[in-house]
């Protein structure tokens, strides 16, 4: 039991407060739960993420590591204290202007760390900024825009505000930006009403593979007066199964006597927060019978027992694309290269752990939680509760980073069942270790690839097989298995291809969706082959890519002819001068180098099909006009930090012909918006953006028809209504005589878009995606040959995005993707049960992301909204292969076991010497 | 005492949260009942993620006597509550350049502002950046209990992974460093897999005292994260005497005291190899 609550007096943002709390309670919890100041965020409770950074007597500290007893009589400053009299602090406005807040979960901590610096050092150098922010992690931005913003706030260099009225193509400040920089945005754990005090905590398996039986749970519950319920599989009202694919629902909410992974939920404790936190899993009467775990090696060797009855040999599914005659073409190719690559699990490491609450309302359920996919959540919860989807309402909170990891259900089924059974609202917040142990990861891959070319470097054939460890449950395994073969040869013209994949069950953490669905792993293989072929043929590494780059009119391996928006050549040509300059710079450095440091430059290309693979994935949106002239966009697209809220508003405004400032937004509530599909597959700008555009056009058409105006008429919002200016004519329609719908809208424009694709045949032939994003990146690295450490010194990225609806947001996506690519290449590998925290699992800090140059190529996609495609996932795919190629240039060794940690790189350097 | 609360007996002992104002009260409380000492909390709270602090806590942050860095008659005294930031801000001779470099690299600024040198030593992590520095500085710890105080060399204080010679009724009060006979210089090299907020894969602290002719009069080299407890390298220290700092004096067999392990951060073989490189670089730093 904790010590009783005592009063603690201290200053918060200059105000005297008295907080009644146990003396050892973390200051972060006191600020949030006792004083109601939710601007201070909690990402780990362990000092690792810095999201909770506040100032204590003016110095930055992690509030999660400070017992409230130690702040008595002292001064605490939080993000809520930055703005004064409704005016933003210079740092806050700089963060807005520079796009330094994406999801915004790290923003309060970043701002406070920066505020500490600027008070001590009013005019800091970049190095001082890095040192000051080194203790706050950001997973979205790649830090560069944050550093820029802090420097700008200090030195006063204001970026120009976007001109009012400009929509598409403008550097519009995020529509949800002010909430993010003031700490008022509500994330999963910020949204709890007081009545949702009942807390759920899952009891989880300590074994990767085991059978189990419960003892007397009723007696156990009676021993703990604070426990309201213990929920098991028997309490699931509907089906105790969920999963992404309708035919592949293989994951139980609560295990049924058998677990296939460490941390699998076996039951859940529901009670007051203190009671459920105080009970240790070991105290719950469960008898375990551990079974041998099934590793990736075991499963591949076929030696393991089947984990699922529907998957003989533990093969979840296979994928294949074939054209021409790969074997014979390879056999006769004048130049050949082969590579085997192995990658590990990668954790999304969004700074916001899963959180939410559920409430039973009559015969329906309402879930307020962070999610990337409200409509899929709704349908799955309906099946689990055994009720129709219309009785499930999903209200997404702001999402503190997703990257694919919040596409799958996590705590939603458990809180839904708990609220359903107890009739009371129930909350749950995952701890960082729980989040890391139990939610999906990037698939570990074992790849073997071979490519052949002629003496001019023209690709003749490509052969690829990839095995992907999908872990205990299917999740997005089938997506990876089907997406990878299409992309496996890279964005090149190859006449003869065979690319196959398999997704394999093991008793590891489930692997699911993570920015790129297996394509980043495959790119490491195909780009290593391009480097090797270039060297063999004696060609420049950029030029060989240019020679083979897909161009307009080329056919892909699936037989799809690319008619539009194939901007890879433009990307490579834009990079060429930088490539030559950086290579010369690195060579000069190495010539004069003494000591252990060597530099290298690498280049890599990527492509990425936008939207689901050969599956319908429509989005629908509405744009409403009220009698008073208010325009509201109802968007079901969830903004997970990438900026879709802003992009949708810009597109709808442009289509309607008004300034984006006049469009209000209602986002992502399944009761008020239409289905805009998932925030995944880089599809929101392209697919949902099109729906927003069509909704805008539809509303425009209706409004112009109402006033008999011509198609070029201007729509001008005026106080109390709208004005239509058609040449000499100005019309003010009397909107109040039109009937209003439930939202109060008198005219509603509707838009629906489903990207045109076809099913693929047995050889993977067809049109899997309506359009593709292309890109190429250069990395300059410095390797310490004696220690095997790699520092990335610069990245130059060229991306064909079709059209940059908002260049600041596009750059933000590219920066963030590059930071994750650096992590993938150099430091990130999750090992189930061994590094489920953010100090053993390393993601890049502000000091690990170098200056980034971005070149935006706009080869418009006629199908896209104003020519736009997507950029979310494409951003990270080329980074790791470019870095690995650069390391090879610097050291002469190709690292094939990823990440290239210092010990692996050093071992490879030593092996190459002996 | 301020804020005394004892919430009654539960399985295993008295519970509560004490925040005494004097060392006497603190050691009296420690001998009266088993408690966990709490200083900056940067090791204590991370070890309690997702569960309540359900033990008796003795918060020593109110003990003014344990604060600060000061020059004394015989050398320097680092109060157990001196934070890494205090170390960074203290005016100290080049002897402490290694300790300062360590202070600059512990966690991020938030951790440097709160984490104490006493907590770092008492927590006794094999990767604690303080420990090899204290070994290289030949530091002594001062422990207080209701029965009086005693002093121990750091080498005898840190016993193993999370094990120290501290008795449960003792408080670490200060760390003492004697003034060297000759002008001295220190250095520290830390290797991690990212730039900030990183636990050492390996680290090396070195201190040398220099004779008037610029040769080494005495040297102490310690390697951390390569064994349960950071280790000095006696054969190398002996060889350096009378020489100018020269990395080529370092031999592989000097690393014999190390017993690195494989873990999530690196392999044992790599640690051994990297230790050799870092020791050489540390010696070069001393030149
Ligand atoms: C994100 C993060 C990064 C970190 N990075 C590093 C790093 O790079 N290098 C590094 O070495 N460490 C690092 N640490 C660990 C930690 O910050 C340091 O060890 C710090 O110095 C501990 O001091 P403290 O006052 O916070 O200890 P506390 O957490 O208060 O105490 C630690 C332990 O020592 C005991 N204790 C404390 N003071 C005394 C005393 N005077 N007498 C008796 N017992 C006592 C406590 O009971 C407890 O067991 C990091 C921690 C975090 C959270
Ligand atoms: S929540 Fe405090 S550092 Fe992560
Ligand atoms: S914006 Fe930094 S974590 Fe999302």
The reply to whether B154 and B231 lie within a common domain is no
**Residue range A518-543, pLDDT digits in tens:** 999 999 999 999 999 999 999 999 99
Same domain, B154 and B219: no
Same domain, B193 and B267: yes
- Listed in sequence order, the residues at least 6 apart from A812 whose beta carbon sits closer than 8 Å to its beta carbon are A99, A102, A140, A141, A142, A145, A642, A643
Q: Are B235 and B256 in contact (CB under 8 A)?
A: yes
Q: Which of A66, A839, A843 to mutate to test the pocket of ligand 1 (most atoms within 8 A of CB)?
A: A839
What gap in Å lies between CA A399 and CA A354, rounded to an integer?
9
Nearest to A47 among B5, B59, B107 (CB): B107
Cβ-defined contact of A135 to B5 (cutoff 8 Å): no
- Give the C-alpha separation, A564 to A770, whole Å: 10
Residues with Cβ within 8 Å of A85's Cβ and at least 6 positions away in sequence, in order, are none
Contact A170, A152 (CB under 8 A): no
**Which of A32, A44, A56 most suits a substitution to test ligand 2, by most atoms within 8 Å of the C-beta?**
A44
Looking up residue B39, the CATH number of its domain turns out to be: 3.30.43
Q: Any idea what the CATH number is for the domain that residue B70 is in?
A: 3.30.465.10
CB contact under 8 A, A137 and B197: yes
Interval A607-629 mean pLDDT? 95
Q: Do residues B71 and B171 both lie within one domain? A: yes
> Which residue among A49, A51, A102 is best mutated to probe the pocket of ligand 3, counting the most ligand atoms within 8 A of its Cβ?
A102
DSSP A578: H
- Determine which residue's CA is closest to atom 2 belonging to ligand 3: A138
B277–chain A nearest CA distance, Å? 7
* DSSP letter string, A79-138: GGGTSBTTBPPHHHHHHHHHT--SS-SSHHHHHHHHHHHHHH-SS--HHHHHHHHTT---
Both B127 and B174 in one domain: the answer is: yes
Ligand 3 proximity of A103 Cβ (cutoff 6 Å): yes
Terminal-to-terminal C-alpha distance of chain B? 51
Q: Which residue of A has its CA nearest to B196?
A: A134
Asked whether the beta carbons of A170 and A806 are under 8 A apart, the reply is: yes
| Interface list for B 84-123 with A (CB within 8 A) | 85, 107-111, 113-114
Q: Looking at the complex, report in whole angstroms how far the Cα of residue B270 sits from the nearest Cα belonging to chain A.
A: 5
pLDDT beyond 90 at B14: no
Residue A765 pLDDT exceeds 80: yes
Q: Say yes or no for a CB contact (<8 Å) between A60 and B109.
A: yes
Nearest to A354 by CA among A253, A427, A280, A417: A427
Taking the C-alpha atoms of residue A187 and residue A41, their distance in angstroms, rounded to an integer, is 9
Mean pLDDT along residues A459-468: 98
Question: pLDDT class for B4, splitting at 50, 70, 90?
Answer: very low
CA angle, residues A701, A706, A712, in degrees to nearest 5 = 45
Structure tokens at B26: 């603190």
The 10s digit of each residue's pLDDT in A343-353 is 999 999 999 99
- Ligand 1 atom nearest residue B171's Cα: 42
pLDDT, chain A, mean: 96
The pLDDT of A573-599, averaged and rounded, is 96
Quick one: pLDDT at residue A3? 67
- Of B24, B40, B59, the one marking the end of a domain is B59
Q: How near does any CA of chain A get to the CA of B276, in Å?
A: 10
pLDDT interval class at B5 (50, 70, 90): very low
Cβ of A39 closer than 6 Å to ligand 3, yes or no, is no
**Would the pLDDT of A44 be above 80?**
yes
How remote is the C-alpha of A95 from its chain's centroid?
A: 20
* Residue A17, beta-bridge partner list: A10
Confidence of residue A165 (pLDDT cuts 50, 70, 90): low
Token pair listed for A825: 């290449």
B54 and B68 inside one domain: no
Per-residue pLDDT, averaged over A198-211, amounts to 98
- If you measure from the C-alpha of residue B125 to the centroid of ligand 2, how many angstroms do you get, rounded to a whole number? 21
DSSP class per residue in A319-362: EEEEES-HHHHHHT-SEEEEEEEE--BB----SS--EEEEEEET
Same structural domain for residues B167 and B188?
A: no
Produce one character per residue of B38-69: b if its CB has 16 or more CB atoms within 10 Å, e if not.
bbbbbbbbbebbeeebbbbbbbbbbbebbbeb
How many other CB atoms are found less than 10 A from the CB of residue A580?
Answer: 13
Rounded Cα distance, B222 and B254, in Å: 11
Domain boundary among B163, B178, B193: B178
Helix (H) or strand (E) holding B275: helix B268-286
CA of A152 to the centre of ligand 1 (A): 35
B193:A901 CB<8 A:
yes
Which chain B residues contact residue A783 at CB under 8 A?
Answer: none
Query: Could you tell me the end-to-end alpha-carbon distance of chain A, in angstroms, rounded to an integer?
Result: 60
State residue B153's pLDDT score.
98
Q: Is A10 exposed, middle or buried (0-12, 13-18, 19+ CB in 10 A)?
A: buried
DSSP for A854-882, written as a single string: EEEE----TTSGGG----TTHHHHTHHHH
For residue B96, give its domain range. 64-178
Q: Residue A381 in contact with residue A365, Cβ under 8 Å?
A: yes
Look up the ipTM and state it. 0.95
Mean pLDDT of A730-759: 95
Collapsed DSSP state (helix, strand, coil) of residue A767: coil
User: Are B253 and B267 contained in the same domain?
Assistant: yes
Instruction: Report the distance separating Cα A299 and Cα A317, nearest Å.
Output: 14
pLDDT > 70 in chain A, percent = 99
Question: To the nearest whole angstrom, how far is the Cα of A597 from the nearest Cα of chain B?
Answer: 13
- Checking if the pLDDT of A159 tops 70, the result is no
Select from A56, A433, A842 the Cβ nearest to the Cβ of B193: A842
Alpha-carbon distance B137 to nearest alpha carbon in chain A (angstroms): 26
Q: State whether B53 and B68 are in the same domain.
A: no
Q: Report the DSSP pairing between strands A265-271 and A315-323.
A: unpaired
The count of domains in chain B is 3
Q: What is the pLDDT of residues A640-651, one digit of tens each?
A: 999 999 999 999
**Distance between CA atoms of residues A458 and A469, nearest Å:** 33
**Residue A620 pLDDT:** 96
Per the document, the length of chain B is 287
User: pLDDT per residue over A661-684, tens digit each?
Assistant: 999 999 988 899 999 998 887 899
Interface probe with B: pick from A47, A189, A844, most Cβ of B within 10 Å: A47
Band the pLDDT of A32: cuts 50, 70, 90: very high
Measured between CA atoms, the residue of chain A closest to residue B267 is A903
Same domain, B199 and B164: no
Contact A902 B266 (CB under 8 A): yes
- In the DSSP assignment, the letter for residue A30 is I
Partner residues linked to A511 by β-bridges: A441
- C-alpha–C-alpha distance, residues A598 and B284, integer Å: 20
- B53 and B108 share a domain? no
Beta pairing partners, A229: A270
Instruction: Give the end of a domain, one of B34, B59, B84.
Output: B59
CA torsion through residues A550, A555, A559, A562, sign: positive
| Most distant CA atoms of chain A, gap in Å | 87
Of chain A, the percentage scoring pLDDT greater than 90 comes to: 95
- Edge-first strand order for the sheet with B216-224 is B184-191, B202-210, B216-224, B231-232
Label residue B91 exposed, middle or buried (CB < 10 Å: 0-12, 13-18, 19+). exposed
- What domains sit in chain A, N to C, each tagged with a CATH number? 198-292+351-401+406-438 (3.30.365.10), 445-612+762-913 (3.30.365.10), 619-753 (3.30.365.10)
**Closest listed residue to residue B218, CA positions, set B248, B204, B234, B238:** B238
Q: Is a pLDDT exceeding 90 seen at residue B10?
A: no
At B53 the pLDDT is 79
Mutate to test the interface with B, among A68, A903, A906 (most CBs of B within 10 A): A903
Cβ–Cβ < 8 Å for A120, A794: no
- DSSP track, B81-105: T-BHHHHHHS---GGGHHHHHHHHH
Average pLDDT over residues A387-409: 96
Tell me whether A195 touches chain B (CB under 8 Å).
no
pLDDT per position as a tens digit, A60-114? 999 999 999 999 999 999 999 999 988 999 999 999 999 999 999 999 999 999 9
For residue A461, the surrounding DSSP H or E stretch is strand A459-471
pLDDT value of position A156: 80
A326-377: pLDDT as tens digits: 999 999 999 999 999 999 999 999 999 999 999 999 999 999 999 999 999 9
Is there a single domain that holds both residue B69 and residue B160?
yes
- Quote the tokens at residue B167: 């008795």
- For residue A605, what is the DSSP state? E
The pLDDT of residue A158 is above 80:
no
Structure tokens at A254: 């609560």
For residue B120, count other CB atoms closer than 10 A to its CB: 24
Q: What is the pLDDT of residues B160-195, one digit of tens each?
A: 999 999 999 999 999 999 999 999 999 999 999 999
């Amino acid at each position: 039991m904790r010590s009783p609550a005592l009063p603690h007096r201290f200053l918060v943002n200059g105000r005297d407060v008295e907080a009644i709390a146990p003396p050892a309670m973390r200051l972060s919890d006191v600020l949030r739960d006792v004083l109601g100041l939710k601007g201070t965020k909690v990402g780990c409770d362990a000092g690792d993420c810095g999201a909770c950074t506040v100032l204590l007597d003016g110095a930055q500290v992690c509030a999660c590591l400070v017992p409230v007893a130690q702040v008595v009589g002292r001064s605490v400053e939080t993000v809520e204290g930055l703005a004064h009299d409704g005016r933003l602090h210079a740092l806050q406005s700089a963060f807005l202007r520079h796009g330094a807040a994406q999801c915004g979960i790290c923003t309060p901590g970043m701002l406070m760390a920066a505020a500490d610096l600027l008070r001590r050092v009013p005019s800091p150098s970049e190095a001082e900024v890095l040192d000051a922010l080194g203790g706050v992690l950001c997973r979205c931005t790649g830090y560069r825009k944050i550093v820029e913003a802090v420097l700008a706030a200090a030195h006063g260099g204001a970026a120009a505000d976007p001109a009012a009225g400009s929509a598409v193509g403008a550097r519009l400040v995020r529509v949800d930006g002010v909430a993010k920089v003031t700490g008022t945005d509500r994330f999963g754990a910020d949204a709890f009403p007081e009545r949702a005090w009942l807390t759920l905590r899952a009891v989880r398996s300590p074994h990767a593979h085991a059978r189990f039986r419960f003892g007397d749970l009723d007696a156990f519950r009676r021993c703990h007066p604070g426990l309201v319920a213990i929920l098991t599989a028997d309490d699931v009202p509907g089906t105790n199964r969920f999963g992404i694919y309708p035919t592949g629902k293989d994951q139980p909410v609560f295990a049924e006597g058998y677990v296939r992974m460490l941390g699998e939920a076996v039951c859940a404790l529901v009670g007051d927060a203190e009671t459920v936190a105080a009970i240790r899993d070991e105290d719950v009467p469960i008898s375990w019978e551990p079974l041998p775990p099934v590793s990736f090696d075991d499963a591949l060797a076929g030696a393991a027992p089947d984990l699922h009855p529907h998957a003989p040999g533990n093969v979840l599914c296979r994928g294949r694309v074939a054209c021409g005659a790969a074997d014979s073409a390879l056999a006769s190719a004048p130049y050949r290269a082969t590579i085997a690559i192995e990658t590990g699990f990668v954790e999304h490491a969004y700074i916001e752990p899963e959180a939410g609450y559920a409430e039973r309302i009559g015969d329906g359920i309402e879930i307020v939680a962070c999610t990337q996919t409200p409509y899929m959540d709704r349908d799955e919860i309906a099946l689990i509760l055994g009720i129709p989807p219309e009785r499930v309402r999903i209200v997404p909170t702001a999402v503190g980073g997703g990257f694919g990891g919040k596409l799958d259900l996590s705590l939603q089924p458990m809180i839904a069942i708990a609220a359903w059974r107890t009739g009371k609202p129930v909350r749950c917040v995952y701890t960082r270790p729980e989040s890391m142990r139990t939610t999906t990861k990037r698939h570990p891959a074992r790849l073997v690839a071979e490519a052949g070319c002629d003496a001019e470097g023209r690709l003749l054939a490509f052969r690829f097989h990839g095995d992907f460890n999908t872990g205990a449950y299917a999740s997005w395994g089938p997506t990876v298995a089907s997406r990878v073969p299409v992309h496996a040869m890279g964005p090149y013209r190859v006449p003869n291809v065979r690319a196959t994949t398999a997704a394999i069950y093991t008793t590891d953490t489930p692997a699911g969706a993570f920015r790129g669905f297996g394509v980043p792993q495959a790119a490491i293989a195909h780009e290593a082959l391009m480097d090797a072929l270039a060297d063999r043929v004696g060609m420049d590494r950029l030029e060989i890519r240019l020679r083979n780059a897909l161009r307009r009119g080329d056919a892909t391996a699936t037989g799809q002819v690319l008619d539009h928006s194939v901007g890879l050549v433009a990307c490579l040509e834009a990079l060429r001068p930088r490539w030559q300059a950086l290579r010369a710079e690195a060579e000069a450095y190495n010539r004069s180098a003494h000591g252990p440091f060597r530099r290298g430059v690498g280049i890599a290309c990527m492509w990425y099909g936008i939207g689901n693979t050969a599956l319908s994935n429509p989005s629908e949106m509405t744009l409403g006009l009220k009698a008073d002239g208010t325009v509201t966009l109802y968007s079901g697209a969830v903004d997970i930090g990438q900026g879709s809220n802003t992009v949708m508003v810009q597109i709808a405004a442009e289509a309607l012909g008004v300034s984006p400032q006049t469009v209000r937004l209602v986002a992502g509530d399944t009761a008020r918006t239409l289905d805009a599909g998932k925030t995944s597959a880089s599809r929101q700008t392209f697919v949902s953006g099109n729906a927003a555009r069509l909704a805008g056009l539809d509303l425009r058409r209706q409004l112009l028809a109402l006033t008999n105006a011509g198609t070029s008429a201007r729509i001008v919002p005026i106080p109390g209504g709208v004005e239509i200016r058609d040449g000499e004519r100005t019309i003010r329609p009397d909107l109040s005589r039109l009937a209003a719908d439930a939202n109060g809208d008198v005219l509603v424009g509707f838009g629906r878009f489903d990207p045109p694709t076809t099913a693929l045949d047995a050889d993977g032939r067809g049109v899997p995606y309506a359009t593709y994003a292309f890109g190429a990146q250069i990395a300059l690295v410095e390797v310490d040959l004696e220690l095997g450490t790699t520092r990335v010194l610069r990245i130059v990225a060229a991306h064909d995005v079709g059209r940059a609806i908002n260049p600041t947001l596009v750059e933000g996506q590219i920066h963030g993707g590059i930071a994750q690519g650096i992590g993938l290449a150099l430091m990130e590998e999750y090992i189930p049960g061994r590094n489920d925290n953010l100090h053993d699992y390393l993601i890049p800090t502000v000091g690990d992301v170098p200056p980034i140059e971005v070149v935006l190529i706009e080869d418009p996609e006629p199908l896209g909204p104003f020519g736009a495609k997507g950029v979310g996932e494409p951003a990270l795919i080329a980074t790791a292969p470019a870095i690995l190629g650069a390391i090879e240039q610097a050291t002469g060794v190709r690292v094939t076991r990823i990440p290239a940690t210092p010990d692996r790189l050093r071992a490879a350097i030593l092996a190459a010497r002996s | 005492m301020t804020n005394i609360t004892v919430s009654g007996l539960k399985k295993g002992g008295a519970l509560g949260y004490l925040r005494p104002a004097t060392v006497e009260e603190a050691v009296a409380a420690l001998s009266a009942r088993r408690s966990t000492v709490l200083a900056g909390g940067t090791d204590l709270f991370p070890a309690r993620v997702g569960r309540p602090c359900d033990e008796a806590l003795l918060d020593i942050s109110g003990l003014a006597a344990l604060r600060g860095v000061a020059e004394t008659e015989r050398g320097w005294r680092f109060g157990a509550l001196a934070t890494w930031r205090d170390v960074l801000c203290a005016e100290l001779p080049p002897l402490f350049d290694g300790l300062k470099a360590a202070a600059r690299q512990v966690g991020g600024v938030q951790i440097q502002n709160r984490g104490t040198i006493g907590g770092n030593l008492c927590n006794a992590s094999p990767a604690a950046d303080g420990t090899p520095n204290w070994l290289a500085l030949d530091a002594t710890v001062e422990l207080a209990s209701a029965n009086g105080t005693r002093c121990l060399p750091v080498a005898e204080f840190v016993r193993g992974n999370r094990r120290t010679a501290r008795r449960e009724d003792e408080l670490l009060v200060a760390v003492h460093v004697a003034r060297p006979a000759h002008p001295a210089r220190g250095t520290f090299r830390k290797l991690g897999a990212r730039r900030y907020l990183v636990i050492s894969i390996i680290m090396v602290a070195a201190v040398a005292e220099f004779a008037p002719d610029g040769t080494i009069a005495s040297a102490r080299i310690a390697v951390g994260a390569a064994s349960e407890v950071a280790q000095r390298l006696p054969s190398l220290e002996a060889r350096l005497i009378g020489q100018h700092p020269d990395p080529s004096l370092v031999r592989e067999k000097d690393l014999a005291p190390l017993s690195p392990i494989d873990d999530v951060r690196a392999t044992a073989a790599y640690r051994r190899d990297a230790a050799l490189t870092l020791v050489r670089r540390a010696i070069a730093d001393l030149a």
